Amino acid sequence: MPSLHISHQDHPSQTVWSTPAGQNFVSGADIYLTIVAERASVEIDEHKQAQFSHRMVDRIEQEEDAIAIYGRLQRSQPASDEPQYVLSLRSLGSKELNFQLQIAGDKVNQAQLRFASSPDEHFYGLGEQFSYIDGE
């Protein structure tokens, strides 16, 4: 399975963003949550009703400083429902890349975007309200 690489226009050999080789970069699921809150403690159980772990790329379009990847998500077993997705990537300057993932259809309420990172790359917050680097 090929991977997607985005490089800087002024430095084509420098990869700015890429997807992991041999792995799907977009997937989704239909889940429901059971949440129990008691005395400042919260327990969350996630139950998957459907998993769309395979993706197809139908077309890629470029518009100025952005690209859009259009495709479909599929289950591991053949099924009639194939939710459509659009992954948009836009340059916000020399050091920023904005990405937006949209999945159409009522069968997917959890989306996953998988991308590669280097060991020396750091993340602030990890999508939560922590004031820590790399979750520490």
pLDDT tens digits, one per residue of 101-134: 999 877 888 898 888 877 787 766 555 555 656 6
Domain-embedded: residue 118: no
**Total number of domains constituting the chain:** 1
- Predicted confidence pLDDT, tens digits, the chain (136 residues): 677 888 877 888 888 788 888 888 899 999 999 999 988 888 999 998 988 888 889 999 998 888 999 999 988 777 778 899 999 998 887 778 888 999 987 788 889 888 887 778 776 655 555 565 665 6
- pTM exceeds cut of 0.85: no
Domain-embedded: residue 44: yes
State the residue range of the domain holding 61: 26-113
Domain-embedded: residue 97: yes
What is residue 87's predicted lDDT score, i.e. its pLDDT? Answer: 93
d(CA 28, CA 109): 7
Domain-embedded: residue 53: yes
Domain-embedded: residue 57: yes
Contacting residues for 50 by C-beta, under 8 A, at least 6 apart: 29, 30, 75, 107
Contacting residues for 126 by C-beta, under 8 A, at least 6 apart: 134, 135
Domain-embedded: residue 126: no
Domain-embedded: residue 17: no
Domain-embedded: residue 127: no
Burial class for 118, CB neighbours closer than 10 Å (0-12, 13-18, 19+):
exposed
Percent over 90 (pLDDT), the chain: 23
